[in-house]
Structure 1
Amino acid sequence: MTDKSDTDSPDAGASLPDETRRQERPDRPSLRNPNLPPVLVRKAPPFSVRLTQLLWALSFVAGAIAIVYFFVVREDQLPLINDAIRAVDGTRSEETYTTAADIIFWSVFGFMVGMLLIQITMLVSFTNRRPGIRWWQFATLVVQAPVYALALEMVGAGEHGEMLRQVLTAQCGLVLLALLVSALPGAINWSVQQHDVRRGTVSGPGAAPDL
């Protein structure tokens, strides 16, 4: 049996509005913002990019071998270059042919060194995702291939010249393969993004240390 004094108590009736207000009170908003700011991160490049870098590196090795080899066999190649010049015009003095042979040798040697340095610089730009760098890399091949073919007609005679021809051909072939791989969709998307970002705080995993 219910005690009448409890039901008629003013304290029991007064508590009901407070409970109702607590139930109708909206939830406290969260202090954590779900829309986190973008943070630069360092992600491993896709396989196509790493393969491109490897092919470029191999082309640099081939180019360096060609440069060193060409310098080492200089004394053997100069008489052959002399003979090639003499076959074009045999009415000049011997000193003229010797000087012309030296000029052609060092011109080809300088071109090989300069082209190698330019391509190394462009690979650094490619790794940094510079826009349009593939066209500049392609332009180096467009210049490199015909100049090498023309130069080998003058400096590629003899046994040493054949070895030089093979190494330079391998270098151009590796450059061509690197350009083709860099045009794959994965490498293109990686270059277009320019920066790897994620949503989160600076101290989160994968954040760039310089931030």
Structure 2
Amino acid sequence: MLRVPPPRPPVVHPSTAPVIATMPPPFAVRCAQLLWVVGIALGGFIAVYLFVIRETQLPLIADVVRAVTEGRPEETYESAADIIFWIFFTAIVLVVLMQITLLVSFMGRRRRIRWWQLATFLIMVCLLLFSRELVAVGERGSVLFPLLAIWCGIVLLALICSVLPPAMTWSARQYDLRPGPTGPLHSDL
């Protein structure tokens, strides 16, 4: 007696699981990314420039401190100028490092990252106002205020691009999915 083999199971199922795909981000996200990179580069340039002009700025900062209170020893003014300069310099470097970290998190679609980016922008505005009074003095220091203002403008544009509807949808999706394979199991080999 001839035995008939049982029917084989199908190798394709109509309800295959979706597959994580790598799709390019929308234009708004690419614009935000480009603006963040330009802003980070400008912030790095500002930090380097500030470090280069440090020796010429310290006496000018000491003069600003001297105008506030007179009659102190000269070492006090020099120490105050050092403290003000290094606080300002460290704040700029920390903002740049935070923005690098936040950009990586933004491109990784982390939730609520735009609030942290907004916080760095607010810190930058404070640095801009602080620099006007204490650090951006003298011939070389007068370049700092416009550079900081441009940096704030670039970061503001990056924030605006990152909250446009396509960018918000892209972030909320978390993962790009496409339908699973529809052919035989070994067609990808």
Contact 1:82–1:97 (Cα < 8 Å) also in 2: yes
Amino acid at match of 1:63: G
| CA RMSD, 1 decimal | 2.0
Looking at structure 1, the residues matched to 53 and 116 of structure 2 have their Cα atoms a distance apart, in angstroms, of: 32
Cα-to-partner distance string for 1:19-55 (whole Å, 9 max, x where unaligned): xxxxxxxxx9965211121111100101100000000
Amino acid at match of 1:192: A
Cα-to-partner distance string for 1:175-197 (whole Å, 9 max, x where unaligned): 00000011111100000001001
Say yes or no: does 1:156 pair with 2:136: yes
Say yes or no: does 1:68 pair with 2:48: yes
Contact 2:102–2:117 (Cα < 8 Å) also in 1: yes
Structure 2 residue corresponding to 1:45, chosen from 25, 31, 42: 25
1:123 corresponds in structure 2 to: 103
* Aligned residue-pair number: 177
Looking at structure 1, the residues matched to 147 and 131 of structure 2 have their Cα atoms a distance apart, in angstroms, of: 14
Cα-to-partner distance string for 1:122-158 (whole Å, 9 max, x where unaligned): 0100000001101111111112212331133101111
Amino acid at match of 2:19: V
- 4+ residue stretches of structure 1 with deviation over 6 A? none
Distance 1:102 1:34, change over 3 A: same
1:185 corresponds in structure 2 to: 165
Contact 2:14–2:182 (Cα < 8 Å) also in 1: no
Say yes or no: does 1:166 pair with 2:146: yes
Q: How far did 1:95 drift?
A: 0.8
Say yes or no: does 1:141 pair with 2:114: no
Contact 2:12–2:182 (Cα < 8 Å) also in 1: no
Contact 1:152–1:161 (Cα < 8 Å) also in 2: no
1:114 corresponds in structure 2 to: 94
Say yes or no: does 1:79 pair with 2:46: no
Asked which structure has the greater CA Rg, the reply is: 1
Looking at structure 1, the residues matched to 103 and 11 of structure 2 have their Cα atoms a distance apart, in angstroms, of: 46
Looking at structure 2, the residues matched to 185 and 137 of structure 1 have their Cα atoms a distance apart, in angstroms, of: 17
Distance 1:202 1:170, change over 3 A: farther
Q: Secondary structure at the match of 1:197?
A: strand
Q: Secondary structure at the match of 2:158?
A: helix
